[in-house]
Structure 1
Amino acid sequence: MSIEVIVDILLLMGLLIIGVPVPFCFAAAALFLFLTGDYVGSNFLVAAGFNKTSSIILLAMPLFILVGEIMSTGSLAARLVDFCDSIFGRLKGGLGVVVIVVTAVFGAISGTASSAVAAMGTIMVPRLVERGYDRGYAAALVAASSVLALLIPPSSAQIVYGWISGTSIAACFLAPIVPALLLMGLFSAWNFVMTRNMPIVQPEAVGARQAIKDIGVKGRRATLGLVMPFIILTSIYGGLATPTEAAAIAVVYALIVGVIIFRDIPLRELWRIGYSAGTTVGVVMVLVFFAVMLSRLYTMENVPQSVVNLLLSISENRIVLLLLINVFLIVLGMIMDDFSGLLLATPMLLPVIRELDIHPVHFAAIIGVNLGMGNITPPTAPLLYFGARIGKTRLQGMLKPTLILVLFAYLPVLLLTTFIPDLSLWLPRLVLGIN
């Protein structure tokens, strides 16, 4: 690896650490390497960027982002919250389980962890505080639960990974489901432990008949929201639609429900929804454009092969190498959002994965769990800072519950996902028959 490449990587990391917007970090790194390297012209870089951003597969990502905006504007998200609250809310600490489940479902549909924090933080943090939960704990729980958006289908993170690696997106959707369910279970268990001494105000006790009636009423109100993931996944795995087509179906469905059926999204709001989703998509596409350019330059400079050689020079033991990969991904997740981390890490680590004979579908789960953990791991933890802003609290109050969830829920699941491939490969083999 040349000195120019080493300086370029240090430049990229330095810009990220000091808080420069991520697309500008990738642009600066690509420009530095192009100016200091020996390349004939820039046409190949621009072509690479445009070819990737015009991919029909990548179109699914902005469509799912638009679905998230529609859901958070209308009452679909609130109806899902009310339904889950009718099931778990009467338990002490039960509203925390509601946060975990609904944030995971909403984050999966909207496709991004940050959109889940924004929507669920706005809805759930005030409700949790009103019930007696500590505000810092409430914001931490929303931020930690939001990373499940990287794991539960349809996940934009898995779309990006499948697009870069050339792996079946349908298989990538299925791979992280079991780790996600394990995480939800552990989050829920630790939620009950951490809230046992909080002065939580529980709803008034009712008889079994009234409780069942309440669940039925709120379940009917939430039905149209609950069937959305079913429609999306059934259309994909039933062979009726590609992920991109399924995302388009989800947009149309959300608009019909919000504008025509529930009538809680005024027509004048559609422009604001489109503008908000468009600005998010614009940032993501600029990021993809420059990340692809940088990835092409790194490939030409043999950076992926240098990473392979570096890791193999440290150890040839498979377990040690997998641990090193995990550490690298966690650190990357600490300083980058999920999209940025995937765009940088996937092309760099795929040669290592092939060398270790790890199934690319298994690696889809590994990279998703890793980057999610990094996003909520101090000291940088981009999702924690965002959660603190949305929850109107200080980061210090979020650190203790976050670290408990990271060390005693996320880390065990990460190790299980890494070293037990069947956790990730069981569903893809069952549903799609992959080897």
Structure 2
Amino acid sequence: MNPLIIMDAGLLTLLLIIGVPVPFCFAGAALLLMMFGDFGSTSFLVGAGFNKLNSIVLIAIPLYILAGGIMGAGGIATRLVDLADSIIGRLRGGLGLVLIVTTAVFGAISGMASSAVAAIGTVMIPRMVERGFDRGYAAALVAASSVLALLIPPSASMILYGWVTGTSILACFLAPIVPGLILLTLLGFWNLILTRRMPLKQPEPAPMRAIVGETFIRTKKAAAGLMMPLIILGFIYGGITTPTEAAAVAVVYAIPVAIYVYREMNWSGLGQVLWRAGQTSGVLMIMIFFASMLGRIWTLENVPQEILESFLSVSENPIVLLLLANLFLMIIGMFMEDVSGILLAAPLLLPVMKQAGVDPIHFSAIIATNLGMGLITPPTAPLLYFAALIGKTSLSGMLKPALVFVFFAYLPVVLLTTFIPALSMWLPSLVLGLN
């Protein structure tokens, strides 16, 4: 391999380890190659970056970020929590189950794990602490559950994966759903186990009629928010709109719901949401721009092929190749969040996956579960730090339950997804008729 490429990969890794913001990490790695590489005129690299940004598919991501921000500020999170609490909150440890379920539903609205941490964590952590849950445990469960936003459609990560690899975005939306449901089940199981010895306060017993009445009232209050993921996915899979157009529909639907139905956001608040969504989207576009330039150079230098050859030098056995690819993804996931991980890893590992006989749709579920696990795996674990900030707790108090979730919920899902293709291929085959 070209020594300059090795130096460039080392620089990228160093910048990530010392905590430089990810867009600047990609920018530094790209600029190093532009300054010292023998590529003649580098104007084509700038053009490559802008050409990647000039995509109708990418418009969907800031629109979903905006829709999730509107619904988070507009009261949808509180109403989802109240509804789930009325159904399962009376069980011992039930409030943890409420958190897991509402995070999955909110993930189907926002498509971003960080949005789910902010919206659901702000509501749930104080409520859980009030009922006797350990604050560190509550924050760790918020972080672990928020990864469901990557697996439950519409997912911004799957939009990026489909765009980078040229795979059907509709199929990529469907592929991680079954692994996501398995993960939801495992998180619920470990929540019940880990809360057995906590001094939890149970709600006062109530007659069934009162519980049903309360659930009915809260369902009516949450109905407008619950309709949003149904509208998005119904429009996409009903062939009415593309994913990008469905994102625009979601924004148009979310504004009147937040302002006139829930009445928890005004037009001034909408301006603040627009500003925050613009900041997030701007950072994302800068990262995509420099990552595209870096990817173009690495492709010219045959880095994907050299990674494939290095893997094949270890073994040509498909099982070994899959294990090596998973290890590669786990390491990447420990140092960068899902979006940048997909931009870097998807084009590099796709040749390896094809060599191992893995369908690109199946690989979308593999990469989503791996990078999702990386978001709560030290040393970087961005979602753990974010949840600690939201929950006003220390990382040390979150570490033990977080590691339980990593080793006994996420890791089994990663292995099942990797070695049982039917888990990720069944729904795309059923809905889209893929073979």
Give the TM-score normalised by the residue count of structure 1: 0.99
Deviation sequence 1:400-426 (CA, Å, 0-9, x none): 111111111111111110000000000
Would you say how many aligned residue pairs link Structure 1 and Structure 2? 435
Is residue 76–residue 225 contact of structure 2 (8 Å, CA) maintained in 1?
yes
C-alpha displacement at 1:263, in angstroms? 2.2
Deviation sequence 1:240-264 (CA, Å, 0-9, x none): 0000000000001110111122222
Residues in 2 aligned to 1:107 and 1:128: alpha-carbon distance in whole angstroms: 20
C-alpha displacement at 1:300, in angstroms? 0.5
Determine the structure 2 residue equivalent to 1:377: 377
Determine the structure 2 residue equivalent to 1:5: 5
Determine the structure 2 residue equivalent to 1:47: 47
Determine the structure 1 residue equivalent to 2:368: 368
C-alpha displacement at 1:224, in angstroms? 0.9
C-alpha displacement at 1:380, in angstroms? 2.1
Residues in 2 aligned to 1:282 and 1:262: alpha-carbon distance in whole angstroms: 29
Determine the structure 1 residue equivalent to 2:208: 208
Residues in 2 aligned to 1:263 and 1:210: alpha-carbon distance in whole angstroms: 27
C-alpha displacement at 1:385, in angstroms? 1.2
Deviation sequence 1:85-138 (CA, Å, 0-9, x none): 111111110000111111122123211111111111211111111111000000
SS in 2 for 1:59: helix
Determine the structure 2 residue equivalent to 1:24: 24
Determine the structure 2 residue equivalent to 1:345: 345
Residues in 2 aligned to 1:232 and 1:190: alpha-carbon distance in whole angstroms: 31
Determine the structure 2 residue equivalent to 1:300: 300
Deviation sequence 1:211-237 (CA, Å, 0-9, x none): 111111111111111111111011001
Between stretches 220-229 and 416-425, larger displacement belongs to 220-229
Deviation sequence 1:41-83 (CA, Å, 0-9, x none): 1211111111111210011000000011101111111111100
C-alpha displacement at 1:349, in angstroms? 0.7
* AA matched with 1:16: L
Residues in 2 aligned to 1:14 and 1:112: alpha-carbon distance in whole angstroms: 27
SS in 1 for 2:198: coil
SS in 1 for 2:240: coil
Determine the structure 2 residue equivalent to 1:170: 170
Q: How does 1:234-249 map to 2 (within 5 A)?
A: 234-249=234-249
Between stretches 391-400 and 253-262, larger displacement belongs to 253-262
C-alpha displacement at 1:13, in angstroms? 0.6
C-alpha displacement at 1:160, in angstroms? 0.3
Q: How does 1:60-139 map to 2 (within 5 A)?
A: 60-139=60-139
Q: What is the identity percentage for the equivalent residue pairs of Structure 1 and Structure 2? A: 62
Residues in 2 aligned to 1:11 and 1:143: alpha-carbon distance in whole angstroms: 29
Residues in 2 aligned to 1:84 and 1:384: alpha-carbon distance in whole angstroms: 24
Deviation sequence 1:171-197 (CA, Å, 0-9, x none): 000000000000000100110100011
Q: How does 1:408-427 map to 2 (within 5 A)?
A: 408-427=408-427
Determine the structure 2 residue equivalent to 1:285: 285
SS in 1 for 2:32: helix
Residues in 1 aligned to 2:223 and 2:142: alpha-carbon distance in whole angstroms: 23
Residues in 1 aligned to 2:326 and 2:199: alpha-carbon distance in whole angstroms: 38
Residues in 1 aligned to 2:344 and 2:379: alpha-carbon distance in whole angstroms: 21
SS in 2 for 1:411: helix
Determine the structure 2 residue equivalent to 1:161: 161
Determine the structure 2 residue equivalent to 1:35: 35
Task: Work out whether 1:401 is the aligned partner of 2:401.
Answer: yes
Residues in 2 aligned to 1:255 and 1:345: alpha-carbon distance in whole angstroms: 36
Q: How does 1:190-339 map to 2 (within 5 A)?
A: 190-339=190-339
Residues in 2 aligned to 1:307 and 1:10: alpha-carbon distance in whole angstroms: 15
* AA matched with 2:228: M
SS in 2 for 1:223: helix
SS in 2 for 1:58: helix
Residues in 2 aligned to 1:394 and 1:433: alpha-carbon distance in whole angstroms: 48
Give the TM-score normalised by the residue count of structure 2: 0.99
Residues in 1 aligned to 2:260 and 2:108: alpha-carbon distance in whole angstroms: 24
Residues in 1 aligned to 2:46 and 2:107: alpha-carbon distance in whole angstroms: 33
C-alpha displacement at 1:36, in angstroms? 1.6
Deviation sequence 1:309-349 (CA, Å, 0-9, x none): 01000111111110111111111111101101000001101
* AA matched with 1:112: M
Q: Where does structure 1 lack aligned partners over 5 or more consecutive residues?
A: none
* AA matched with 1:247: A
* AA matched with 1:428: P
Residues in 2 aligned to 1:302 and 1:5: alpha-carbon distance in whole angstroms: 10
Residues in 2 aligned to 1:60 and 1:335: alpha-carbon distance in whole angstroms: 26
C-alpha displacement at 1:355, in angstroms? 1.5
